[in-house]
């Protein structure tokens, strides 16, 4: 019976799928991230046929080596796969898969939760109210910014970036501009969106900049001090992609010095650590990497990871093979 290792407790949906396929499933009994040494030791001892892994597992050549020649696939329960060294996996003869599509709506919704919350000062207003500072309606109290009819700038036009643009245009009558390495003329026609040839053009023009790029060497610190200075002083920056895309120290300085109006971010440069200066600021909203965290979506992510494993162990190409 094929053996699967799951690196941490996950929603039951995917586990049931694996068990129904006739596999023996072993789950890390401690509900915590395994260190590299712990992961290697599990893999060496268990001689698993596949592993269902998380974005918090760092998968390098040593880990793939430890998995052994019987191991066919590491199924990442995330759309992002910057935690895995894909070349090292290929060298070890192991496939890596991800979970695109099933989380698009949820992440887009969370992006809007952040965008509206920062523009309408929701978290700040909640703190204000709980602190007993509300003494009656005031014409100038906690004034925010409308998203309606503004320009939204999308950096990275994948599934999530396009869905965010769609909601902004259809729901808020916003104007969408975008930068991506690939131009998408159908998207432009559908949303009357316009392509910008550089991220800088988007940064200069947008009232709300929403980041949806994968983490690659080319996108590391895509948003740095220099690029933050290109943004309008009235603009907001939203990030639900990967933390290292933003230089967090530079962001803290930009927010302190009112270079931009606000930011709302779900991901951090050195998770779970957060640049301490950010924690002190009122003009930022921070959520702990939960953009895909709804019950339904997390179930679907585990199921899709399981489907990738089942395909790989049945001798087929997994539907979401990362190449
Ligand atoms: C992903 O899937 O890459 C998200 O960051 C976690 O859901």
The reply to whether the predicted model has a pTM over 0.95 is yes
Domain of residue 8: give its range: 3-101+295-313
Residue 321 lies in a domain: no
Residue 204 lies in a domain: yes
Percent of the chain with pLDDT over 70: 100
**202 and 218 part of one domain:** yes
55 lines ligand 1 (CB under 6 A): yes
**274 and 304 part of one domain:** no
**115 and 257 part of one domain:** yes
**114 and 70 part of one domain:** no
Q: How confident is the model at residue 308 (pLDDT cuts 50, 70, 90)?
A: very high
Which DSSP category does 177 fall into? E
CA 292 to chain centre: 8
**97 and 109 part of one domain:** no
Residue 50 lies in a domain: yes
Q: Write out pLDDT tens, residues 100-125.
A: 999 999 999 999 999 999 999 999 99
Helix (H, G, I), strand (E, B) or coil at 176: strand
**69 and 109 part of one domain:** no
Q: Write out pLDDT tens, residues 4-44.
A: 999 999 999 999 999 999 999 999 999 999 999 999 999 99
Total domains present in the chain: 2
6 lines ligand 1 (CB under 6 A): no
Atom of ligand 1 nearest to the CA of 267: 5
**230 and 282 part of one domain:** yes
Tell me what pLDDT residue 235 has.
99
Segment holding 300, helix H or strand E: helix 295-313
User: The domain spanning residue 97 has which CATH number?
Assistant: 3.40.50.720
**125 and 201 part of one domain:** yes
Q: 10, 14, 55: which to mutate for ligand 1, most atoms within 8 A of CB?
A: 55
**136 and 78 part of one domain:** no
CA 20 to chain centre: 30
Nearest-CA residue for ligand 1 atom 3 is 80
Q: Write out pLDDT tens, residues 283-296.
A: 999 999 999 999 99
Tokens of 70: 């019987």
Tell me what pLDDT residue 26 has.
98
Rounded Cα gap, residues 180 and 212, in angstroms: 10
């Amino acid at each position: 019976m094929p053996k699967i290792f799951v690196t941490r407790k996950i929603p039951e949906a995917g586990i049931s799928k694996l068990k129904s396929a006739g596999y023996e499933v072993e789950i890390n009994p401690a509900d915590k991230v395994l260190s590299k040494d712990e992961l290697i030791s599990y893999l060496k001892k268990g001689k698993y046929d596949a592993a269902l892994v998380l974005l918090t597992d760092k998968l390098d050549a040593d880990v793939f080596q430890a998995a052994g020649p019987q191991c066919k696939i590491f199924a990442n329960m995330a759309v992002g796969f910057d935690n895995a060294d894909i070349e090292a996996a290929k060298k070890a003869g192991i496939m890596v898969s991800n979970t695109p599509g099933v989380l698009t709506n949820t992440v887009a919704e969370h992006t809007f939760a952040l965008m509206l919350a920062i523009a309408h000062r929701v978290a700040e207003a909640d703190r204000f109210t709980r602190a007993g500072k509300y003494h009656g309606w005031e014409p100038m109290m906690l004034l925010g910014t409308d998203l309606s009819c503004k320009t939204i700038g999308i950096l990275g036009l994948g599934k999530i970036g396009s869905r965010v643009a769609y909601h902004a245009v259809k729901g808020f009558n916003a104007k969408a501009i975008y930068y991506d390495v690939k131009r998408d003329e159908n998207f432009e026609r559908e949303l009357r969106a316009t392509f910008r040839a550089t991220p800088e053009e988007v940064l200069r023009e947008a009232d709300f900049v929403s980041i949806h790029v994968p983490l690659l060497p080319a996108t590391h610190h895509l948003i740095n001090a220099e690029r933050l200075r290109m943004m309008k002083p009235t603009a907001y920056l939203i990030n639900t992609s990967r933390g290292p895309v933003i230089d967090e120290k530079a962001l803290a300085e930009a927010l302190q010095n009112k270079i931009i109006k606000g930011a709302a971010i779900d991901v951090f440069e050195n998770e779970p650590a957060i640049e301490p200066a950010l924690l002190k600021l009122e003009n930022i909203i921070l959520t702990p990497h939960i953009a895909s965290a709804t019950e339904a979506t997390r179930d679907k992510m585990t199921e899709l990871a399981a489907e990738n494993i089942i395909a790989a162990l049945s001798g087929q190409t997994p539907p979401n093979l990362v190449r």
